[in-house]
Amino acid sequence: MSSRSRLLAAFLVPAWMLLHIPLLEAVDAPPLHKVQIAIHAWEGYVEPYAPGFIAAMRERHHIEVELVRSRATGLDSFRSHLRDHSADLVSPANDLLRTLKDEGLIRPLDPALVPNLAQVNPIILDNGYFRIDGRIWGAPFTYGPYALAYNRAKLAKPTSYEVLWDERWKGRVSVSDYDTANIYLVALALHIPASDLFRLSDAQLARIEAKLRDLHAQVGHYWSDNLEPDSVKTMDLGTDWGIGVHLINSRGGDWAMTVPNEGATAWVDNWAIASAIDPVKLSLVHEFIDYQISARVEAEVARHTSYGPANIYATRYLTVAEKLEYHITDADYLGRLIIWQPLDAATLARYQAAWKRATR
């Protein structure tokens, strides 16, 4: 071989290798492992934050995660999805954790895998509802009141729940079909002491049922997830968790939420893990929970839903106006709300029966 040929070969061989090495690496790279996580949760709890978690799992573990959310409507829907194994993760309110735990439908969390639990608001932590028998059964996520919602173009800010029974608004009232939430609201309207709400006597419950029946005659629409923007064309007053009013106003409405003089009960929603979850998914689900209760994501959730973030450090990612809107700068706000308490099976059955009789 001439010196010129040897020189040309010296350049050609590295060029050939450079062209083919990336191709060989691409062929040899293992495919992404795919995992689907089924989540039974309220609106605004998974979307639109899912892409951040999916990207993190792809980068961190080379796993392609698909998050599939079904719509929660309350205790019965949580039970149904957990019993038929169609949910790996659920978002029950604080008063439901013990019920789901006692029925064997959820499993305890490993706090070592959810370090952001340490950033949860101390007022929520001090409540302690999520710790049962020395173990943690739910990770606090969001909170808020169940209170009055009203169209500011039609009426002034109400100061009492009694406005719901005002004949002027008959047929233009929209309330939740969440039974216990309405039992509590009517109890407050009747000035029943807050200390009695979760253990009402038969006499108190009879009074509530009668007033619920009158409320039912006022209601033009019941909602399941939240006060529905599409229904407000024919509604001017009702109740909401907060997200409904938020959505209405994002579409050009002029609604507001208010806690009347009688006060308001409040929920804390949590992430809880299905007892029958596939062990392969268990660490991923813990990572999802930790991602969801991180300060940055909880700020996004607050902005999207108007709910209060359980992670107190979410304030770092919110504007001054947002902090005021979500009451994060009001140190006493959460303390003034009457946090739901777990009901024993017999009490829950009595409340649900009263609700059904009053609204049939």
Model pTM score: 0.86
DSSP per-residue string spanning 38-103: EEEE-TTSSTTTHHHHHHHHHHHHSEEEEEEEEE--SHHHHHHHHHTT--SEE--BGGGHHHHHHT
Is 33-141+269-326 a CATH 2.40.30.10 domain?
no
What does the pLDDT read at residue 232? 84
What does the pLDDT read at residue 29? 57
SS3 state at 268: strand
What does the pLDDT read at residue 356? 97
Domain residue extents for the chain: 33-141+269-326, 144-265+342-359
Assess whether pLDDT exceeds 80 at residue 205.
yes
Q: Nearest Cα to 160, choosing from 174, 177, 143, 147?
A: 147
Which residue's entry shows tokens 């979500």?
326
What does the pLDDT read at residue 30? 67
What does the pLDDT read at residue 94? 95
Mean pLDDT estimate for the chain: 91
Query: What mean pLDDT comes out for the span 197-216?
Result: 98
Query: What tokens does 345 get?
Result: 């099976």
What does the pLDDT read at residue 292? 98
Lowest mean pLDDT among 40-49, 119-128, 291-300: 119-128
What does the pLDDT read at residue 17? 38
CATH number of 144-265+342-359: 3.40.190.10
Assess whether pLDDT exceeds 60 at residue 330.
yes
Assess whether pLDDT exceeds 60 at residue 218.
yes
- 135-158 confidence digits (pLDDT tens): 999 999 999 999 999 999 999 999
Query: What mean pLDDT comes out for the span 304-318?
Result: 94
Q: Nearest Cα to 189, choosing from 178, 181, 199, 179?
A: 181
**Which of the four pLDDT bands, split at 50, 70 and 90, describes residue 331?**
confident
- 90-100 confidence digits (pLDDT tens): 999 999 999 99
What does the pLDDT read at residue 28? 56
- 7-40 confidence digits (pLDDT tens): 334 434 443 333 344 444 444 556 788 999 999 9
Lowest mean pLDDT among 52-56, 68-72, 76-80, 224-228: 224-228
